């Protein structure tokens, strides 16, 4: 009996131990998801803390170096970079010339009470009436001469001019930048009207004042402001090209035009400054999520932002994009454009769920626009030197390389891709063309003269005929 009891007792103890072990085992299994979740949360928390610390260190460095990073530092940068003298005159010019900045009005000029287009070709001192309602245009420009005189007066002040600004991230308004195009259109109208009536000194003055307008409004607050400056430059370039079709400029005036177009435009330097400022506007917008929701609601992106907390890792990711873009600007402009395209593709592919993916700028498109602007400058400069060559020698050169005898270098008569502009002599006329605007990204200059207008573009946007007389 004793033996049986002992045996029975020994049999019961392992059974009790096994049950407890079973319970402990499954208790740990049940706790595993919570442990994993705790580890993930801890890891993410550490990552966010590190990101937040890195951002603070970066901002401290920017603050020390006086690099803008929020609305207040943007205001300080604006005050440091601009000049207050001349604001009163330029503000008055804007009030007197503002008539709208719609895209469809880019090549249209305001007459009194309606919009109309200038003549397709400027023929100086032509007996035929080139202008629709010539008397109306003349009367309008006579009324505008005091305003143009005011532009000349305003142009004597240091630039860029300090216009009142209230920085609010991406909600910052830039009305004076947008309206700079209105000033340029009035000057363009006066230039082309004066030139067609043989008043070359007046026309040259208008072209000089257009360049002064670009300098006055060269704010670089963001990428948009540089794009507007580019548009104002093109208004001037286009007027110069139109006056070269039938040329009555004398030698000294052609020299002045050439000097005003010479010197390669530095794409990288102003672009870097605008990108730095764009980054500051982005950071300011991220600091106010409500403002960000309103911004992207107007873009149809509200569902991607509403209710989402801005994490330090989102900000750090955005800063990595900007830092990489700024470092890449040290490369050639074409390499910079390629790097921007790669970064944008990476963001769209790998970071589409991040708020940062909503705020990174379309830098590659911006660089493409800057490249196109530089190409138009070179194209216009080449046309001026062609006129100089013909005026001095009485004939057109056989090829553009012949213009090197007048000091033009290869980089002046080719685009940034290294392709020489198209050139052809046909009878008494010389034809000069650049790459097709719709194929500008590839930088391909057609080997044959373009003959058809591309959709949405005038033929004179990339093809120029220079008549001998």
pLDDT for 132 equals 80
Within-domain flag for 116: yes
Q: Read off the DSSP letter of residue 414.
A: B
Residues 347 and 386 in one domain: no
Neighbours of 75 (CB within 10 A): 14
Residues 76 and 135 in one domain: yes
Q: What's the average model confidence in pLDDT over 204-213?
A: 97
Residues 91 and 43 in one domain: no
Look at 133-142, 192-201, 300-309, 460-469 and tell me which has the smallest mean pLDDT.
300-309
Within-domain flag for 367: no
pLDDT in tens, 177-189: 888 988 998 999 9
Mean pLDDT of the chain: 84
pLDDT for 2 equals 45
**CA distances to 176, 241, 276 from 369, in Å:** 21, 20, 18
Determine the 3-state secondary structure of 171 from DSSP.
Answer: coil
Within-domain flag for 366: no
pLDDT for 331 equals 85
Residues 343 and 399 in one domain: no
pLDDT in tens, 101-160: 444 454 556 665 566 778 889 999 988 778 888 888 898 899 999 999 999 999 999 999
Q: What's the average model confidence in pLDDT over 7-13?
A: 48
Domain that holds residue 134: 69-276
Q: What share of the chain is helix, strand, coil (3-state, %, to 5)?
A: 65, 5, 30
pLDDT in tens, 401-448: 999 999 999 999 999 999 999 999 999 999 999 987 666 445 689 888
Please check whether residue 367 is in contact with residue 337, taking contact to mean a CB–CB distance below 8 angstroms.
yes
Please check whether residue 354 is in contact with residue 242, taking contact to mean a CB–CB distance below 8 angstroms.
no
**Beta-strand pair 109-110/115-116:** antiparallel
Closest CA to 386 of 376, 372, 371, 401: 401
Residues 31 and 145 in one domain: no
**CA distances to 9, 48, 59, 170, 363 from 322, in Å:** 75, 19, 14, 16, 10
Highest mean pLDDT among 16-20, 113-117, 318-322: 318-322
The secondary element (H helix, E strand) that includes residue 12 is helix 2-65
Q: What's the average model confidence in pLDDT over 249-265?
A: 91
pTM for the structure as a whole: 0.85
Residues 94 and 209 in one domain: yes
pLDDT for 26 equals 57
Within-domain flag for 228: yes
pLDDT for 111 equals 62
pLDDT for 457 equals 61
- Cα–Cα distance for residue pair 469/463, rounded to 1 Å: 18
Residues 59 and 73 in one domain: no
pLDDT for 164 equals 93
Residues 416 and 464 in one domain: yes
Q: What's the average model confidence in pLDDT over 357-381?
A: 90
Q: How large a percentage of the chain has pLDDT more than 90?
A: 52
- Cα–Cα distance for residue pair 47/297, rounded to 1 Å: 30
pLDDT band at 39 (very low <50, low <70, confident <90, very high): low
Within-domain flag for 409: yes
Residues 59 and 74 in one domain: no
Residues 346 and 413 in one domain: no
**Beta-strand pair 115-116/422-426:** unpaired
**Beta-carbon contacts of residue 204 (< 8 Å; ≥ 6 apart):** 249, 253, 256, 257
pLDDT at residue 20 greater than cutoff 90: no
Look at 332-336, 381-385, 400-404 and tell me which has the smallest mean pLDDT.
332-336
pLDDT for 1 equals 44
- Cα–Cα distance for residue pair 89/324, rounded to 1 Å: 41
- Cα–Cα distance for residue pair 216/90, rounded to 1 Å: 8
pLDDT for 6 equals 44
429 DSSP β-pair partners: 426
Please check whether residue 349 is in contact with residue 395, taking contact to mean a CB–CB distance below 8 angstroms.
no
pLDDT for 374 equals 93
Tokens coding 25? 């085992």
Residues 59 and 77 in one domain: no
Residues 83 and 101 in one domain: yes
Per the omega criterion (within 30 degrees of 0), is the bond before 182 cis? no
- Cα–Cα distance for residue pair 435/240, rounded to 1 Å: 19
pLDDT for 9 equals 46
pLDDT for 109 equals 61
- Cα–Cα distance for residue pair 15/118, rounded to 1 Å: 103
pLDDT for 7 equals 45
């Amino acid at each position: 009996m004793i033996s049986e009891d002992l045996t029975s007792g020994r049999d019961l103890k392992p059974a009790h131990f096994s049950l407890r072990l079973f319970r402990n085992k499954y208790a740990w299994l049940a706790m595993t998801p919570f442990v994993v979740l705790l580890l993930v949360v801890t890891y993410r928390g550490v990552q966010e803390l590190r990101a937040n610390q890195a951002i603070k260190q970066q901002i401290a460095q920017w603050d020390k170096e006086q690099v803008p990073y929020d609305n207040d530092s943007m205001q300080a940068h604006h005050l440091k970079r601009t000049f207050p003298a001349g604001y009163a005159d330029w503000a008055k010019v804007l009030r007197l010339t503002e008539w709208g900045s719609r895209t469809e009005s880019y090549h249209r000029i305001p007459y009194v009470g309606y919009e109309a287009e200038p003549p397709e070709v400027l023929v100086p001192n032509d007996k035929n009436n080139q202008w629709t309602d010539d008397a109306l245009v003349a009367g309008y420009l006579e009324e505008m001469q005091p305003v143009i005189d005011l532009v000349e007066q305003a142009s004597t002040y240091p630039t860029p001019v300090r216009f009142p600004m209230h920085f609010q991230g991406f909600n910052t308004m830039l009305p004076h930048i947008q309206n700079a195009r209105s000033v340029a259109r009035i000057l363009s109208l006066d230039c082309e009207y004066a030139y067609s009536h043989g008043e070359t000194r007046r026309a040259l003055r208008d072209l000089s004042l257009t360049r002064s307008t670009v300098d006055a409004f060269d704010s670089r607050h963001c990428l948009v402001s540089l794009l507007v400056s580019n548009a104002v430059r093109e208004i001037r370039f286009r007027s110069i090209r139109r006056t070269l079709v039938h040329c009555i400029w004398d030698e000294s005036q052609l020299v002045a035009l050439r000097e005003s177009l010479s010197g390669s435009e530095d794409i990288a330097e102003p672009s870097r400054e605008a990108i730095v400022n764009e980054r500051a506007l982005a950071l300011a917008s991220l600091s106010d999520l409500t403002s960000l929701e309103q911004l992207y609601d107007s873009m149809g992106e509200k569902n991607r932002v509403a209710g989402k907390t801005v994490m330090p890792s989102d900000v750090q990711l955005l800063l990595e994009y900007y830092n990489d873009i700024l470092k890449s600007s040290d490369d050639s402009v074409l390499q910079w454009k390629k790097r921007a395209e790669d970064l944008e593709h990476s963001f769209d592919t790998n970071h589409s769920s991040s708020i940062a993916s909503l705020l990174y700028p379309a830098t590659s498109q911006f660089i493409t626009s800057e490249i196109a602007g530089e190409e138009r400058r070179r194209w216009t400069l080449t046309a001026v030197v062609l006129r100089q060559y013909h005026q001095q020698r009485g004939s057109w050169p056989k090829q553009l390389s012949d213009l090197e005898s007048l000091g033009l270098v290869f980089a002046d008569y080719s685009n940034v891709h290294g392709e020489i502009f198209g050139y052809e002599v046909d009878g008494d006329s010389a034809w000069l063309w650049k790459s097709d605007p719709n194929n500008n990204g590839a930088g391909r200059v057609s080997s044959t003269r373009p003959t058809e207008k591309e959709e949405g573009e005038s033929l004179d946007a990339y093809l120029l005929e220079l008549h001998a007389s």
